[in-house]
Structure 1
């Protein structure tokens, strides 16, 4: 069995790796081709080109790379034609992946196509499900409320659980070792700073995060900061933070990053799936994000809900404070972080919402990667 996989960013790489592991368990001898990152490569995958080339977010931000991305779409679709897989599984990154699926389906109308991560039609642009239906047969959904949206558009869909519920969580001992190894006292507040996994996000958010953290340090003089990051932006993160007033510890190794999540007292993070990683580790958080002004205006007009944080959405609460678009300013962000330090009730409310989120996303059941593999094989 040949499976062609296409992932376009770090979260998709993690999903792809878990799916590959599940398929190898259920269908020994399966081979994999396509585009992916380090985690998929660790499962025995050779990427057609570096996945990091595709990590662009925003409607306006993609324009400077449009021609290059268009070439990569054609190159990827041509490779599907050459490989002639039993299935094409595209993973998140719909602007790239669904164009690949469309081109590949045009060349081979009988090609079985699946998309892992349902579009958030419940949040904005509800017409996306109908637009993807002609080129996607089957959808693997991360959230339990999503299948009806996909089925109404004419696709089959299975809720397979969110991979965050199966991710290992570092032990208390590992967290203590990380603090000891980096001389972070047990009584020193430890802040996780997470300015994103894309270069555009880091460039836009890091300066604001720096100022917010500096203001927090004024009221918490012993504050320490850790930035867990990914390969594609690690060098940029180090360059941008080298002269921060509160110089952070930058971590790339998976074990160190997990220990940092377990050791942290609070977090400042860009919006995205990282909020679920924080929830899995019960880390109280503040979410902040900004975009190009035109991108923000277009997204705001299309929004169907008033929050982007997945913990808030899954639990139907607003436990996690957000600062989005024009509201993404250092002063209010610092004040919200300060309230988390001081207000035990606010922290407790977040922890309750986090626990509820993990339960609803499948914690305690079969691993999502294995469930996703079963769904792929059942559809084939």
Structure 2
């Protein structure tokens, strides 16, 4: 069986790696992988057509300067798919790139197409589902409320669970080991997670720093822990130099992968609260039962466009999955130090307020069930068999 996969950023690479592992579990041999991916997919036998990092672009305004290079990569990737004649093309997230490739492939072949991660049509741009149905045969959804939107547009769609439920849940033993390793004693800890893309770290460094200075002005005993993503460690390190609380930077480049993961789990378990960029990290925090405040600052043009198109009143995944609004958000113009500080103080005053929503979120995402990568693999094979 020949499978062509495309992932455009680290989260997609993780999904792709788990899906490839699931396919190897269900099919003992005869699997051949091609496509575009990162280290997780490479570990399962993928030789990337070009570096995946070229596709890690977020935001409408951010894409424009790279438009012509992305267009060239789209054409190159589509040609590679058609030449490979795979049994299935699996595109993973990154819809601005992946769906354009799928469109070119469908125009010249009958190759079955699967898109992993249903687009957030429930949040904005609902017409995307109908457009997607023209080039995608089957969608794989991370959230249980998504399949009806895709099916209504004319696609097969399977809820396969979110990968966060397959990760090791941080424990109190992890927390104790982390505190001991960094000599933290009983000091209260705040996690600061300013994102994994250079643009978002650049936009969030200043308001996050302002919020920390206000929060810690009357809390000098608090310590700051910053688990940095490898692609942005240098930017985060530079920003943290101006933050109070003698920030502890967890630099994954200086550790073995398993040690970096262990340190991150320990930090999540040990923290009293987290200040984080918007994204999947809110689900990681929910898995660790770490109360949180979510903030995000967009490019000005991107913000004005998104604000006009939003169909929901929250963008935080814990709020959406649990159908609550208990996690405070500070987005766009509200992503300011004083307003973030107010939210942090409110959460510290009542840290239990988010507990039920975090537990419900994990339950609805499939905690305790079959691994999402295996479920995704089975859904792909079932679709091919129909």
TM range (shorter): over 0.9
Query: In 2 relative to 1, CA 233–49 (structure 1 residues): closer, same or farther, beyond 3 Å?
Result: farther
User: How big is the alpha-carbon RMSD for the aligned residues of Structure 1 and Structure 2?
Assistant: 1.4
Query: In 2 relative to 1, CA 56–368 (structure 1 residues): closer, same or farther, beyond 3 Å?
Result: same
- Give the deviation of 1:10 after TM superposition: 1.9
Query: Among 291, 302, 307, which residue is 2:309 paired with?
Result: 302
Partner of residue 112, structure 1: 112
- SS of the equivalent of 1:216 reads helix
CA contact (8 A) 2:220 2:245 kept: no
CA contact (8 A) 1:17 1:40 kept: yes
Partner of residue 240, structure 1: 239
Determine if the alignment matches structure 1 residue 145 to structure 2 residue 145. Answer: yes
Partner of residue 264, structure 2: 257
- Give the deviation of 1:69 after TM superposition: 1.4
- Give the deviation of 1:274 after TM superposition: 0.8
- Could you report, residue by residue, the CA deviation over 1:159-210 in whole angstroms, capped at 9, with x for unpaired residues? 1111111111233222211111111122x12111111111111111112111
CA distance in 1, matches of 2:176, 2:36: 37
Determine if the alignment matches structure 1 residue 371 to structure 2 residue 384. Answer: no
- Give the deviation of 1:247 after TM superposition: 4.2
Q: Select between 274-283 and 251-260 the one with higher mean Cα deviation.
A: 251-260
CA contact (8 A) 1:204 1:290 kept: yes
Query: In 2 relative to 1, CA 215–275 (structure 1 residues): closer, same or farther, beyond 3 Å?
Result: same
- Give the deviation of 1:276 after TM superposition: 0.5
Partner of residue 228, structure 2: 229
CA distance in 1, matches of 2:147, 2:52: 28
What is the 5 A alignment of 1:71-86? Answer: 71-86=72-87
CA distance in 1, matches of 2:190, 2:43: 30
Query: In 2 relative to 1, CA 226–138 (structure 1 residues): closer, same or farther, beyond 3 Å?
Result: same
Determine if the alignment matches structure 1 residue 340 to structure 2 residue 357. Answer: no
Unpaired runs of 5+ in structure 1? none
CA distance in 2, matches of 1:152, 1:127: 11
Query: In 2 relative to 1, CA 198–220 (structure 1 residues): closer, same or farther, beyond 3 Å?
Result: same
- Give the deviation of 1:211 after TM superposition: 1.5
- Give the deviation of 1:97 after TM superposition: 1.0
What is the 5 A alignment of 1:144-163? Answer: 144-163=144-163
What is the 5 A alignment of 1:1-380? Answer: 1-29=1-29, 30-108=31-109, 110-186=110-186, 188-251=187-250, 252=252, 253-343=260-350, 347-380=351-384
- SS of the equivalent of 1:33 reads strand
Query: In 2 relative to 1, CA 31–256 (structure 1 residues): closer, same or farther, beyond 3 Å?
Result: farther
- Figure out how many residues of one structure are paired with residues of the other and give that number: 375
- SS of the equivalent of 1:60 reads helix
Q: Select between 216-225 and 328-337 the one with higher mean Cα deviation.
A: 216-225
- Give the deviation of 1:49 after TM superposition: 2.1
- SS of the equivalent of 1:61 reads helix
Q: Select between 135-144 and 59-68 the one with higher mean Cα deviation.
A: 59-68
CA distance in 2, matches of 1:32, 1:228: 32
CA distance in 2, matches of 1:247, 1:64: 37
CA distance in 2, matches of 1:281, 1:334: 22
CA contact (8 A) 2:163 2:372 kept: yes
- Could you report, residue by residue, the CA deviation over 1:284-321 in whole angstroms, capped at 9, with x for unpaired residues? 00000011112111111111111000111111110000
Q: TM-score, normalized by length of structure 2?
A: 0.94
